[in-house]
């Protein structure tokens, strides 16, 4: 019985002598909507006072051709029966006829360059 009390006393002393876990100092911020960053991540990021840098969603729509304008450029290159496949991103895609053949035609949405696929 003496050894039990002695073991309990030693265990209690060791438990008190052990360092306690450090408090974690963590700063968690939750944003709903557009995320803001502490630094500019790219040329399309804008600064908002009190929040930080955020991505301007309209940046990629500036200076781009409309789908209709790209379609007219394809027609101006001699293609007929032009049908739109996709008008998103950096490259617009169309199906068209030229010389009786059905071809895929691509248009760069920034500079209007037309090429056949």
Q: For the whole model, what pTM was predicted?
A: 0.48
User: Which residues are 94's β-sheet partners?
Assistant: 84, 105
Q: In terms of Cα–Cα distance, which of 46, 41, 62 is closest to 109?
A: 62
User: Which residues are 114's β-sheet partners?
Assistant: 107
What whole-number distance in Å separates Cα of residue 91 and Cα of residue 76?
A: 18
Q: Report the pLDDT value the prediction gives residue 89, as an integer from 0 to 100.
A: 87
> What does the pLDDT average to over 74-83?
94
> What does the pLDDT average to over 9-22?
65
What whole-number distance in Å separates Cα of residue 100 and Cα of residue 2?
A: 105
Q: Report the pLDDT value the prediction gives residue 105, as an integer from 0 to 100.
A: 96
> Where in the chain are the domains?
31-62, 63-116
Characterize 30-47 residue by residue with b for buried, 16 or more Cβ atoms within 10 angstroms of its Cβ, and e for exposed.
eeeeeebeeeeeeeebee
Going by pLDDT thresholds of 50, 70 and 90, the confidence category of residue 95 is very high
Characterize 77-87 residue by residue with b for buried, 16 or more Cβ atoms within 10 angstroms of its Cβ, and e for exposed.
eebeebeeeeb
Q: Report the pLDDT value the prediction gives residue 52, as an integer from 0 to 100.
A: 84
Report which of residues 24 and 77 the model is more confident about: 77
What whole-number distance in Å separates Cα of residue 49 and Cα of residue 32?
A: 17
């Amino acid at each position: 019985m003496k050894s039990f009390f002695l073991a309990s006393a030693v265990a209690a002393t060791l438990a008190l002598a052990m360092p306690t876990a450090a408090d974690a100092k963590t700063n968690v911020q939750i944003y709903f909507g557009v995320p803001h960053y502490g630094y500019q991540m790219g040329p399309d990021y804008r600064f908002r006072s009190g929040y930080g840098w955020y991505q301007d969603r309209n940046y990629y729509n500036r200076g781009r051709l409309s789908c209709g304008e790209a379609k007219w450029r394809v027609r101006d290159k001699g293609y007929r029966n032009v049908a739109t496949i996709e008008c998103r991103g950096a490259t617009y895609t169309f199906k068209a006829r030229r010389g009786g053949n059905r071809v895929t035609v691509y248009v760069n949405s920034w500079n209007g360059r037309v090429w056949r696929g």
